[in-house]
Amino acid sequence: MFKLMRYGILVLLSVSSCMAFAKNKTTEKPLEVGIVPYLSARALISTYEPFRQYLEKELGRPVNIYTANGFRQYMINAQNGAYDLVITAAHFARLLQTEQQFTPLVRFAGGNRCLVMTALDSPIKSLSDLHGKTIALPDRLSLASIGCLTYLREHGLNPGTDFQIMEVPTFASAILALQKGEANAAVSAPAALAQMPAELRESVRVVIKTDELFNLVFLANPRLGKKATEQLYTVLEKFEEESSECKLFLRNTGFLGLIPVTASDMSTLDRYADETKRLLTTQNLPQ
């Protein structure tokens, strides 16, 4: 039922978009945008609606937004060509660039990190305090999860022996596990945390913060061709030029605008490639 409900939400959005453009008698095929499921489908649709409206207005064509039931399914969809434009985590972006020839366009400005959080009144204060504890981990394929587990292993803490993992579907679910006392700590990321309700966001504090990464990356499917890809880049590059849609979107997300993504940016992600590919091809993810 949950999968059907989620799918129904996305179809409804697509239908309403196409109906609106039908009145204008456009013959343009909708631009299919796929967003990595770092929040629930309902939250992503609500958050990205101003962005969708901006794209429709600037491109003069309908725009549909989709997500998927989990990071693995999202990546399978992207690799199979389900989306014209992907808005995805940096480690997925690198694989889509190198293996499917997607073109990186822009990324959200501002740094990103992998965070280990705990409740405000928790006695956990440092890395060593995580010994013997349970950590709520959102989707194992999220960059936050990969980055945090890498950091913990590099500092002598191994899952299954030094601490236990409680797997949950989303970043919000991880924070909820703290509130319910089901876990002692939770993995998150600044962007995901900023877009949660205040009651979740303000109930936790940071214990561990990894080195800075960068935020979500926008990439064009190679099937769009050079002309459409260049047009999309131009539209994205000027998104933050004081449009009403931009102001609302940035206020809702906490992002700092869009900036070009460089070759140097992308090459820094190679350290995560092998682990990402291993997890994508592993059905029952080991600790």
* Residue 42 identity: R
pLDDT at 131: 92
Which residues are within 8 A (CB) of 207 and not within 5 positions of it... i.e. 6 or more apart?
A: 116, 117, 118, 124, 125, 126, 127, 129, 130, 185
Maximum CA extent, the chain: 63
Q: How far apart are CA 233 and CA 254, in angstroms?
A: 22
Angle (CA) 126-192-271 rounded to 5° is 70
Nearest to 253 by CA among 142, 99, 108: 108
Q: How far apart are CA 6 and CA 2, in angstroms?
A: 6
Structural domains in the chain, CATH included, are 2-110+215-280 (3.40.190.10), 112-213 (3.40.190.10)
* Mean pLDDT along residues 87-98: 92
For the entire predicted model, the pTM comes to 0.75
Q: What tokens does 106 get?
A: 């822009």
Q: What is the pLDDT of residue 26?
A: 55
pLDDT in tens, 69-86: 888 899 999 999 999 999
In 3D, which of 137, 144, 66, 106 has the Cα closest to residue 234? 106
Is 50 exceeded by the pLDDT of residue 210? yes
**Nearest in space to 174 (alpha carbons), one of 183, 73, 164, 199:** 183
Length of the chain: 287
Tens digits of residue pLDDT in 254-284:
777 888 988 988 888 887 888 888 888 875 5
In tens, the pLDDT along 106-130 reads 988 876 778 898 999 999 999 999 9
What is residue 27's predicted lDDT score, i.e. its pLDDT? Answer: 66
CA 173/CA 198 separation, integer angstroms: 14
